[in-house]
């Protein structure tokens, strides 16, 4: 098995954006609502959904690998599998992490822009609308067969 990095990174320039997520209570780190890991996963989900990823310029450690639970690991693996369409990637953890980091790097900007584009107080409503619309597009009945 390839080396498992001890942390996941963000681009240094993204730190500011992550801090500004505090404007919305649902995304807030300060005050203990969301962890960095959770913010990272959300940013990465935006990146994947919009099919954009971007290599990091200057890396900065964001959270430790040991904070990942089994579900988080499964999520990162599935993203890497989806991205490369090759199961071999599962043996290369550094590549799995890199893929996730690049999606998150692109996604944080999308998340931040979305946050700024909605009327103050309407972010949750917009998220809810997006969740429902995206859910309706999925055909989830096939999943467990």
Partner 1 sequence: MRIDNIRLLNYRQFRDVEISFTSQKKHDLHLIIGKNGSGKTNFLNALNWCLYGDEPHLSIQSKLLPLLNLNAISSAEEGADINVEVEVRFVKEQVYICFVRKAIFKIFKSEDFPVHQSTEFEATISAEDMNSKILNEEEAKIQLERFIPSGIRDYFFFDGERLDNYFKEAKGQNIRDAIITISQIELLESKIEPRLDDILKELRRAAGRMNPKLDNTTQLLEEAKDRYKNLKKEIQGCHKEIAISKKGMENCDRNLKGVPDIERIEQELHQLRADKKHTKEFIKEYIGKKANILFDSSICVQLAPSFQYSLQVVKEKRINKEIPPPASPVLLESSLKNNQCTICARELDSNAKNHVEEMLQEIKLSSEIANQLINIEYPLKNCLDRLKHNLKELHELTRSIDSKEKELDKIEERMDQIEKILKQCNVENVRKWFEQRKGYEEEHGKKQRQLGVLEERQKKLQEKIAELENEFNEEMKKEVKNKELSKQINFCKKSLEIVTKTKEVIMHETKKKIESKTKDLFFELIWKKETFADIEISDDFDINLIHFMGYSCLGSISAAERELLALSFTLALHDVSGFESPIIIDTPVARVSDENRENLGKVFSNVSKDKQTILLFTPSEYSDDISKEIERIRSNKYVFNLSAAENEVVLKEEKYV
- The residue ranges that bind partner 1 (CB under 8 A) are 1, 25-27, 34, 38, 41-42, 44-46, 48-49, 70-71, 73-75, 77-79, 81-83, 87-88, 90-91, 124, 127-128, 130-132, 134-135, 138, 140, 142-144
Cβ-in-10-Å burial (0-12, 13-18, 19+) of 111 comes to: buried
Task: Report CA-CA distances (Å) from 133 to 75, 137, 143.
Answer: 22, 7, 18
Going from the C-alpha of 141 to that of each of 26, 86, 145, the distances in angstroms are 29, 25, 8
Query: Closer CB to partner 1, residue 3 or residue 138?
Result: 138
Q: How far is the CB of 27 from partner 1 (least distance, A)?
A: 8
Nearer residue to partner 1 within complex by CB, 57 or 122? 122
| Smallest distance, partner 1 to C-beta of residue 96, A | 10
Shortest distance (Å) from residue 11 CB to partner 1:
20
Query: Which residue's CB is nearer to partner 1, number 34 or number 98?
Result: 34
**Nearest approach, Cβ of residue 7 and partner 1 (Å):** 20
Q: What are 34's two structure tokens? A: 């969301």
């Amino acid at each position: 098995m390839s080396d498992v990095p001890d942390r996941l990174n963000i681009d240094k320039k993204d730190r500011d954006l992550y801090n500004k997520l505090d404007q919305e209570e649902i995304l807030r780190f300060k005050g203990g609502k969301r962890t960095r890991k959770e913010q990272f996963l959300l940013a990465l989900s935006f990146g994947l959904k919009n099919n954009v990823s971007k290599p990091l310029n200057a890396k900065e450690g964001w959270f430790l690998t040991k904070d990942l639970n089994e579900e988080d690991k499964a999520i990162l693996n599935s993203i890497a599998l989806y991205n490369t369409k090759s199961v071999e990637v599962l043996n290369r953890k550094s590549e799995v992490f890199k893929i996730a980091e690049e999606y998150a790097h692109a996604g944080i900007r999308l998340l931040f822009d979305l946050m700024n584009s909605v009327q103050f107080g309407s972010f949750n409503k917009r998220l809810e609308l997006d969740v429902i619309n995206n859910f309706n597009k999925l055909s989830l009945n096939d999943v467990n067969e």
